Amino acid sequence: MIPPPQRAAEVASAPESPDEFETIERLFKPLTEGAPEAQGLNDDVAVLPARMGFDLVATKDAMVEGVHFLETDPLDLVARKLLRVNLSDLAAKGAEPYGYLLAVSWSKRCRWEEREAFAAGLAQDQKQFGIHLFGGDTTSTPGPLTCSLTAFGWVPHGRAVARGGARSGDLVLVSGAIGDGLLGLAAARGELSELEPARVEALAKRYRLPEPRVGMARLVRDNASASADVSDGLVADVGHIAEASGLKALINLEALPLSRAARAWLHKRVDQGQALLDLATGGDDYEIVCCARADRAETMIRAAQDHGDLTVVGHLVEGEGVAVSYMGDPIKFQRAGWRHR
- In angstroms, what is the minimal distance from the CB of 28 to ligand ADP? 4
What distance in Å separates the CA atoms of residue 304 and residue 288, rounded to the nearest whole number?
A: 12
Q: Which residues pair with 60 in a beta bridge?
A: 150
Q: Which of these ranges, 133-141, 194-202, 239-247, 290-298, lies near ligand ADP under the rule CB under 6 A?
A: 133-141
Q: How far is the CB of 108 from ligand ADP (least distance, A)?
A: 18
Q: Which of residues 21-40 bind ligand ADP (CB under 6 A)?
A: 24, 28
Q: Which stretch binds ligand ADP (CB under 6 A): 131-139, 257-265, 297-305, 320-328?
A: 131-139
Distance CA 155, CA 96 (A): 7
Q: Which stretch binds ligand ADP (CB under 6 A): 79-87, 132-140, 217-225, 315-323?
A: 132-140
Q: Which residues contact 124 (CB under 8 A, 6 or more apart)?
A: 76, 80
Contact present, 282 and 206 (Cβ < 8 Å): no
Which of 101, 336 has the CB closer to Mg ion?
101
Q: Residue 41's binding partner, choosing from ligand ADP, Mg ion, none, with beta-carbon cut-off 5 to 8 A by kind?
A: ligand ADP
Determine which residue in the list 104, 185, 203, 261 makes contact with ligand ADP, applying CB under 6 A: 104
Nearer to ligand ADP among residue 105 and residue 252 (C-beta): 105
Size of the site for ligand ADP (CB under 6 A): 12
Q: Does 44 bind ligand ADP (CB under 6 A)?
A: yes
User: Smallest Cα–Cα separation from 89: which of 155, 151, 175?
Assistant: 151
**Which among 84, 76, 81 is positioned nearest to 118, based on CA atoms?**
76
Residue 323 — φ and ψ, nearest 5°? -115, 135
- The HSE-up count of residue 340 (CA atoms within 13 Å, CB side) is 7
What is the spatial distance between Cα 108 and Cα 302, in angstroms, rounded to a whole number?
49
CB nearer to ligand ADP: pick between 84 and 221: 84
- Distance (Å, rounded) from C-alpha 212 to C-alpha 118? 19
Interface contacts to Mg ion, rule CB under 5 A: 137
The total of other beta-carbon atoms located within 10 Å of residue 310's CB is 29
181 is in the binding site of which of ligand ADP, Mg ion, none (Cβ under 5 to 8 A by kind)?
A: none
List residues binding ligand ADP (CB under 6 A). 24, 28, 41, 43-44, 102, 104, 133, 135-138
